[in-house]
Amino acid sequence: MSDHDIRLLQRLASSPSEHSRVDIGRAVSEGRRRVRRRRLAAGAVAAVLVAAVPVSAAVWARPTTHSTPVSQAQGCAPGVKLPVPAGSKKSFVVAGDRSGRYLAGEIDGRAALWHDGALEVVAEADGPSRFTAVNASGLAVGAGWAYSAGTFTKLASPTAALANAVSDNGTIVGARERNNKVVPVIWDSTGAAVRDLPTRNGESGQAVWVSDEGVVLGLVRGAYYRWGPSAGYTNEINLDGEKNLILHAGVTNGQMIAGNVNVAGKEVGIRAFVLSDAERLPDAVREPTAINSRNWIAGLDPETGALTLLAGDDLVAVPSGDHAAVTAVAADGTTLGGYDGEAATTWRCQITG
């Protein structure tokens, strides 16, 4: 060992800038969320949901309050566990298609797809670890892979890539590594070459949603960004006089975003149409975990852990144990997918709205 080497190394002994982005309040709210979801671990609510997402918007003149009682006329039956191979330990649903017939997720660290309540496929050990999205044709995508009708296909990319969403016509979006950054990308089809989506100043980001028309929503520097017509940042969230609130968990269906923010030390659920103002969500879905094409939002009340589906203006209870989450809602609300606190689960619901 040379003293010269050590002295040389000690040239690196410097201090960070005085400006700190460390936020104890955010650690407390995120910590609370992790305690609640310990058994769910880094699972059912996929990476996209837990990314810190500062979004912004103008505030409603007064926060709306929802006093609608949980509906008695409609409801969800107790969840039914989805089939898994014998001996499986941990499973959960991450996403579903528009119809709810396909549910995609993970079993013991391998991507899994269920179709009409039956297990269609579990990836091999060298395949994707998780499916993050599936479309109405059963095209499922995950980390660097796509799966359809019995065949796994590696998505073309010169560097490590991640697929986050797939449209019904097979356009896939996600992110890839480029020069130590994460850049949003699009594949026009399973076999297509990857295309990087431009960001301002080449900032890091991920694409998280894509429509059949090719409109893409992504998270860039923690804010929702839209590619396609009127490209640009979408929303700012301002509530109760606080501006540019950080959205701690976010879900989107392309037309609406939902998530929760911390206002004056309290967690508040919000929803906002893209490019529109934010509105407060009822406490029962204060932590949104899924949204369908009709803007129905599934979420939970972090105080009680109870699951609820907000269908239109109706709050519909979803029976479950502790540490559960709904991560997929069919367009008609009749099928939900998620995690019941123990394993991948589906619920059947009757929604009259």
Where on the chain is the footprint of other proteins (CB under 8 A)?
1-2, 4-17, 19-24, 26-28, 30-32, 34-35, 38, 47, 51-54, 143, 160, 162, 175, 177, 180-182, 201, 203-206, 219-222
CA atoms of 301 and 69, how far apart (whole Å): 14
Least Å distance, CB 126 to other proteins, is 16
Nearer to other proteins, 26 or 101 (CB): 26
Give first-to-last CA distance, the chain, whole Å. Answer: 74
Nearer to other proteins, 101 or 221 (CB): 221
Nearer to other proteins, 27 or 77 (CB): 27
Least Å distance, CB 162 to other proteins, is 6
Nearer to other proteins, 204 or 255 (CB): 204
Nearer to other proteins, 50 or 275 (CB): 50
- Which residues, listed in sequence order, are joined to residue 10 by a DSSP beta bridge? none
Least Å distance, CB 39 to other proteins, is 13
Least Å distance, CB 37 to other proteins, is 10
Least Å distance, CB 236 to other proteins, is 15
Closest to 33 measured CA to CA, from 316, 326, 318, 260 = 260
Residues in the chain: 353
Residue at 85: amino acid letter: P
Alpha carbon 351 to chain centroid, angstroms:
24
Phi, psi of 325, rounded to the nearest 5 degrees: -155, 140
CA atoms of 311 and 296, how far apart (whole Å): 5
CA atoms of 22 and 27, how far apart (whole Å): 9
- Which residues, listed in sequence order, are joined to residue 348 by a DSSP beta bridge? 335
Nearer to other proteins, 11 or 62 (CB): 11
Residue at 108: amino acid letter: D
DSSP, residue by residue, 95-138: EE-TTSSEEEEEETTEEEEEETTEEEEE--TTS-S-EEEE-TT-
Least Å distance, CB 159 to other proteins, is 8
- Which residues, listed in sequence order, are joined to residue 272 by a DSSP beta bridge? 257, 278
Residues 6 or more apart whose Cβ sits within 8 Å of residue 67: none
Least Å distance, CB 181 to other proteins, is 7
Nearer to other proteins, 54 or 170 (CB): 54
